[in-house]
Structure 1
């Protein structure tokens, strides 16, 4: 282990010791607890430490969602447009790579066969913002009819 790697290692251990995070069954152990429980001699170089560290704390990492997350969204047979668009937008906000074209395609593909769907086929929109405007007008109609 080089001097720089050793210094990084010492700093990582100090930094983790200062953490006030409570350990629970669903979270990995804090660094000092985890490190102290490693078998003696299991860390012979910085590479060993790095591999063990990443392997242990990988579950804490936040993964970025992809466009594929959107394809599981479907409007339920009795689900109002307001509920569907709300859920769709919540998921879509977590997918930074989703383009307007992808959003339009996925949103319209998973709609139930109702008046809004038929109107999208007859009068296609140019972008997702335009689709949201059209959705808003149909939501108003749905809610008036339901009242």
Structure 2
């Protein structure tokens, strides 16, 4: 696709590498993969029928795609995305202040649910 585009350029348009780079960026901006930011993480919400384990797994996958994610932002996004539940209430009530602490509590909660209700739910 890029080669076809390049061969169709008028002769003499590309005078140096910087011009070529600018033309490429301008023409192929629609296919460029954009980096995710913490704003994307704020949209990561737990589905109505999604278990805590499924949500935590999905949330972690999303958070790993965000470079230089601040701990307090990750915690805020996690809390914002959790549906109302005993777990969310417990996190708020315990005044959890770090993402890693919230993840540790989620892991314990998920383990307890798996023991009490094998097979999910």
Q: What's the RMSD between the two structures over aligned residues?
A: 2.1
TM-score (norm 2): 0.81
> Which of structures 1 and 2 has the bigger CA Rg?
1
Instruction: Tell me the equivalent position of 1:121.
Output: 92
Match of 1:66 in 2: 37
Give unmatched runs, 5+ long, in structure 2.
none
Taking the aligned partners of 1:49 and 1:119, their CA distance within structure 2 comes to: 56
Tell me the number of residue pairs that the alignment of Structure 1 and Structure 2 aligns.
117
What corresponds to 1:11 in structure 2?
none
Offset at residue 45 of structure 1 (A): 3.6
CA change 1:120–1:37 in 2 (3 A) is: same
Post-superposition Cα deviations, 1:95-121, rounded to whole Å, max 9, x if no partner, equal 113211011111012212111011012
- Which of 1 and 2 has higher RCO (CA within 8 Å, sep 6+)? 2
1:30 and 2:2 correspond = yes
* Unaligned 5+ runs, structure 1: 1-28
Inter-CA distance 135–37: structure 2 relative to 1 (3 Å threshold)? same
